[in-house]
Structure 1
């Protein structure tokens, strides 16, 4: 790790930051662009099934946060995991809740300015990092999340 860059298998992964709306693809902030998480249909007590679901859902969440230019403002997997269990235990459908949150984030992004990064802190150890798809590495120390994207 070299701060804002991770070198892995001969490839460079650069720290994602929040992007101005002018840098985003057309239509990504439109109402029609949804997060699109599947609903969890398994047993909440089946930890392996819940983790599989959450791993796939988190990868999609991270990709969609990058798409709307909020790579510097995503939640950690730990927070995502805890949110899932809290909402489901309260009878609130997690996928619906996340869809609603995504919609609000897009609205806020259209109307409010946001800084490139919310913190200057960087991950301290590669052990704080995991893959989130083929071209994304996500690092977190529970409190802060960092997304690194493979450079072409």
Structure 2
């Protein structure tokens, strides 16, 4: 059945990550774990509120993305901004116990371009979304994992900081956190 959602405006396709470019050529994917020379990374799942650090769901815990101030036509500047913003997004989603419900970098990238085309401040929109996610997390139970299956290979995986590896097939995102 076709989707009822409007088609997204065409945005430049984000460059694909390869094993060698992401520094993960020495890593092995074993479904819910990734073994690398620098450690073992386990698949992040959504956490119950009781397992979270105190205060992470409070109003003063903000996503805190800075607004993009560069030239939207400068792909290198956009990629640098979105790479940093995505790393922060992933870390904050893990902090509020939603590591199993993150969006892929491709979706994040396309969301930036869609919001820009609509004249919407991406950083503010993401902040609003983060606030709603925290409210929902306080009040609603969430399954440990929202997606089925595992990444097919390390080919579409990349580091997000020192302690996190993110893999995606565009539609599904998997976040692995160092033990």
Match status 1:58 vs 2:86: yes
Q: How far 1:120 moved relative to its partner?
A: 2.4
Matched residue count: 151
Q: How far 1:119 moved relative to its partner?
A: 2.0
- 1:94 aligned residue: 122
- Moved beyond 2 Å, runs of 4+: none
Aligned-partner Cα distance in 2 for 1:45–1:119: 34
Match status 1:67 vs 2:95: yes
Aligned-partner Cα distance in 1 for 2:122–2:81: 11
Give the gaps of 5 or more residues in structure 2: 1-28
- 1:139 aligned residue: 167
Q: CA RMSD in A?
A: 0.6
1:1-152 to 2 correspondences below 5 Å: 1-151=29-179
- Structure with higher Rg: it is 2
Aligned-partner SS, 1:6: strand
Give the gaps of 5 or more residues in structure 1: none
